[in-house]
Amino acid sequence: ETNTLPFHPFENQQGDILRMGKEHQVLKEQLREAEEKFEQLQSRSLEEIGALEELLKKSIEETKVSQNELDWFHQDSETQMKKWQQEKKENRENLKALRGTAKKHSDTNERYLKAIEDKEKQYNVCLNTFLETSNQFANEKGKLEELIKKSQDNSQECEKRAIKAEVSVLQTWKETEIWKLKGAIAKAEGNLRVLKALNSSASATPVLKSQIDSWEIFISNVKKQLEKVEAEYEEKIEQVKNGARDCLSKVEIVDFPHP
């Protein structure tokens, strides 16, 4: 009556009924939430099942198409297999032919290698011979260059001496010719003085005057000849000094007859 004792047989302890009521309320709440979640899951599952059914339908259609493609692939594979077998056969034949060709090339290559080896030996022998000959030629070239230089020096010295000798010869010829011409002029001037002395006397004749004129003309011609000879010899001497050739010749002298 005072609600202080357990209510048997529903309570083992005091407050079990209240506690069970609370638990029942909680369970009802949890059941409600579970029902809501179940409904949500069921709705979502239905949607997913619909989508999956659509996918399954599409997959079945694609499977049919894939089966057709697979059949076509099998047919194409068989065609390709036959073609591949034919190509394999042809490749075997080609490989056999290539092996024969490779064997020929290998034999040819071995011959070429042997020929190259022989040529290399010959080349080395020729190279060594060439190097020895080249060294000999180099030594001989050095000796020849020394001889050429010495010969050039001697040639230059000889050329200088030859020029000096030619100049000396031309100088001697010039002096000889000048001495002759000057001697002729001196004799003519002596004769002219004698004739002029005779012409100043009382016994002078026209013939004497003609002879004086002849001697004066003779002296004038000889002097011109002297200038010409001296100038030509000087020109020849300058040409020889400058290296000219074939200048060693006497100047032509005009022999004027004495009056």
- Those residues whose C-beta lies under 8 Å from the C-beta of residue 218, and which sit 6 or more positions away, are 188, 256, 258, 259
> For residue 146, what pLDDT band results from cuts at 50, 70 and 90?
very high
pLDDT in tens, 104-138: 998 998 999 999 999 999 999 999 999 999 999 99
Helix axes of 16-199 and 206-241: crossing angle, nearest 10 degrees: 160
Please indicate whether residue 207 or residue 41 has the higher confidence score (pLDDT).
Answer: 41
Q: What torsion do the CA atoms of 155, 156, 160, 166 make, to the nearest 10 degrees?
A: 40
| Percentage with pLDDT > 90 across the chain | 30
Please tell me the distance from the alpha carbon of residue 179 to that of residue 21, in angstroms, as a whole number. Answer: 180
Q: What torsion do the CA atoms of 72, 78, 81, 86 make, to the nearest 10 degrees?
A: -120
User: Which residue type does 69 have?
Assistant: E
Of 96-105, 154-163, 194-203, give the lowest mean pLDDT range. 194-203
Please tell me the distance from the alpha carbon of residue 198 to that of residue 206, in angstroms, as a whole number. Answer: 12
* Mean pLDDT rounded to a whole number for the chain: 86
pLDDT in tens, 42-79: 888 888 888 999 999 988 888 888 788 888 888 888 89
Taken in order 104, 105, 107, 112, the sign of the CA dihedral is: positive
pLDDT in tens, 200-240: 765 667 788 888 888 889 889 989 988 988 898 898 888 88
Tokens representing 38 are 């179940």
Please determine, for residue 10, whether its predicted confidence score (pLDDT) is greater than 80. Answer: no
- Position 249 scores a pLDDT of 79
Please tell me the distance from the alpha carbon of residue 10 to that of residue 233, in angstroms, as a whole number. Answer: 177
Q: Which of the 8 DSSP states describes residue 257? A: P
CB 247 within 8 A of CB 240: yes
Cα–Cα distances (Å) from 162 to 158, 175, 230, 233, in that order, read 6, 19, 22, 17
Tokens representing 210 are 């003609």
User: Shortest CA distance to 236 belongs to which of 247, 225, 245?
Assistant: 247
Of 152-156, 177-181, 202-206, give the lowest mean pLDDT range. 202-206
Of 4-18, 123-137, 178-192, give the lowest mean pLDDT range. 4-18
Helix (H) or strand (E) holding 36: helix 16-199
- Those residues whose C-beta lies under 8 Å from the C-beta of residue 254, and which sit 6 or more positions away, are 221, 225
Please tell me the distance from the alpha carbon of residue 62 to that of residue 194, in angstroms, as a whole number. Answer: 161
Please tell me the distance from the alpha carbon of residue 238 to that of residue 128, in angstroms, as a whole number. Answer: 57
